[in-house]
Amino acid sequence: MRAHQSSVLLIPVSTWAAPAHLPEGYLLKPSIHQCHQRFNWVPDIVVGDLAYIHQDIKREIRRRWHVAILTKMKPDMNIIEPFDSWNRISCPQGQPLQWLGYDADDQQHWFGPRAGRQLCGECWEASQCPREFSYPASLHETLVGLLPLSTLAANRILNQVRSWIEPAQAYEKNQLGLKAMFLNSLHLCWTASLLADAVVLLRALALIAEPEPSSDPLGALRPRQLILDFKIQP
Amino acid sequence: MVQSTLPPTGTVALLERLSEYIPDEFINRTLAFKRHAGQRRSFVPAQLWRTRLLAFLTAAHSFNAVVRLLPEQIGWRRFVQLRQRQCTPDVRMLHEFRLHAGVRGLRAINDHLVGHLLKLIPASSQTVAIIDATDLPAATADKKKTGASGRRSEPRWEHERARRATPNFMSASKNILCVFGCGRISPPSC
């Protein structure tokens, strides 16, 4: 993943305008469904906030469309075995484990001892231990799911990528003036939202068609050696 | 994020840059008006859609203001593809177009644009979507219930319940699923 590089371009794919009292979590499944229905395409990973934490919805999306829903843990949520914390998993004897991979056929995640300092050499079960542990994706939809929260990828996505939505929302609300619009009906709100999205999409098309920006942004400011051209005729 | 080298939002230069990416033919085909005997439409759907878009691409931020200012702004008229200064869409036409297009029609245009962009994501790359909601303030001051409603003969608790239900209509939320590709998005080659 490459953060804050020229190849990252956010585009709106599914928009809903709803009364404010409608819980946001209800719109996650319809959004994925629309993507599949209209574009025959679904994203591999969806990052949401705590409003999208419903376990049943996550399970259904994982089984039906194989989309990983990443959200942080609620503070009051119970941590289950074999997790020590939301981002740390260990074997029954306490050796921290790292994610090895996902077996899509069996829907199992595989974990093994972390490289570096290991407790395995001193463990009384070492001779019988396979040093690979599998846990089903259905064990906990938030902690495990399709992409466990203990993985480096999940951590980076939650900590870095999630915040990228803020400038996208701010652009529509402030620069395109969505916040200043006179919205006195939900239908008008729908219309304004979709037109603002259309502007963002047109901008994205224009940005992609642009030539690549120079890889040396300070090149024009850097002093250059003058060429002494005396034009001496032989 | 992409480092934008496009002209700033609100400028005529940006209107000219974006104009070439608007799928006029698709809009005219998708949102075509039904023909009625004796009725002649002055503007095609693409022109009306472009006029509505001006409310976001200019500092007007209001459909009524766009209608008022359109005859004076040559750059705006060029964007809407209007030839004559005197002949510009009025508020009624824009309102009728909004009802005619509906949410489904406007979504179809956006889907058409998204379809172009999704084709540019390499098949082997992973895509990450971000879902979020934001509040939009609703202009409902005229609809706010100030006094108790109902007949005088009704019991007291009926009035209190009517007042408590009001805040539900005070704002709307815009829920959006944004997506980006992690692979390199390269411009389409000719």
Is A130's Cβ below 8 Å from some Cβ in B?
Answer: no
Domain boundaries, position B154: 123-139+148-182
* Predicted complex ipTM: 0.82
Distance CA B71, CA B54 (A): 13
Is B165's Cβ below 8 Å from some Cβ in A?
Answer: no
Is B65 within a domain? yes
Length of chain A: 234
User: Under an 8 A CB cutoff, do B18 and A202 touch?
Assistant: yes
Report how far apart the first and last C-alpha atoms of chain B are (Å, whole number): 26
Structure confidence at residue A213 (pLDDT) = 61
Confidence of residue A2 (pLDDT cuts 50, 70, 90): very low
Inter-helix orientation angle B12-19/A186-209, to 10°:
80
User: Under an 8 A CB cutoff, do A177 and B168 touch?
Assistant: no
B90 in the same domain as B156: no
B166 in the same domain as B110: no
Is B113 within a domain? yes
Is B190 within a domain? no
Is B28 within a domain? yes
Closest CA–CA distance from residue A144 to any residue of chain B (Å): 18
DSSP single-letter state for residue B68: H
Distance CA A18, CA B174 (A): 7
pLDDT at A233 over 70: no
Is B32's Cβ below 8 Å from some Cβ in A?
Answer: no
Structure confidence at residue B142 (pLDDT) = 59
Is B188 within a domain? no
Confidence of residue A229 (pLDDT cuts 50, 70, 90): low
Distance CA B149, CA B143 (A): 13
Tokens in use for A127? 């001779």
**A12: nearest CA in chain B?**
B178
B129 in the same domain as B92: no
Selected for mutation to probe chain B from A67, A181, A188, A212 (highest B CB count within 10 Å) is: A181
The total number of structural domains in chain B stands at 2
Distance CA A205, CA A210 (A): 9
pLDDT at A219 over 80: no
B115 in the same domain as B39: yes
- Name residues whose C-beta falls within 8 Å of residue A7's C-beta, 6 or more positions apart in sequence: B2, B181, B182, B183, B184, B185
B57 in the same domain as B4: yes
B127 in the same domain as B38: no
Structure confidence at residue B162 (pLDDT) = 37
B131 in the same domain as B100: no
Is B76 within a domain? yes
B34 in the same domain as B103: yes
Distance CA B6, CA A224 (A): 29
B157 in the same domain as B91: no
- Residue A142 near residue A53 (C-beta atoms within 8 A): yes
pLDDT digits (tens, 9 = 90+) for A27-82: 899 999 999 999 999 999 999 888 888 889 999 999 999 999 999 888 888 888 88
Q: Which residues of chain B have pLDDT under 50?
A: 1, 148, 150, 154-171, 181-190
The dihedral of CA A198, A200, A7, A167: what is its sign? negative
Structure confidence at residue B25 (pLDDT) = 95
B98 in the same domain as B23: yes
pTM score of the predicted model: 0.80
Tokens in use for A25? 């979590």
Q: What's the burial of A83, exposed, middle or buried (CB within 10 Å: 0-12/13-18/19+)?
A: buried
Is B187 within a domain? no
DSSP single-letter state for residue A73: P
B177 in the same domain as B88: no
Is B9 within a domain? yes
pLDDT digits (tens, 9 = 90+) for A87-146: 889 988 888 899 999 998 889 999 998 877 678 888 888 888 888 999 999 998 888 999
Selected for mutation to probe chain A from B178, B185, B189 (highest A CB count within 10 Å) is: B178
- Paired sense of beta strands A45-47 and A68-70, if any: parallel
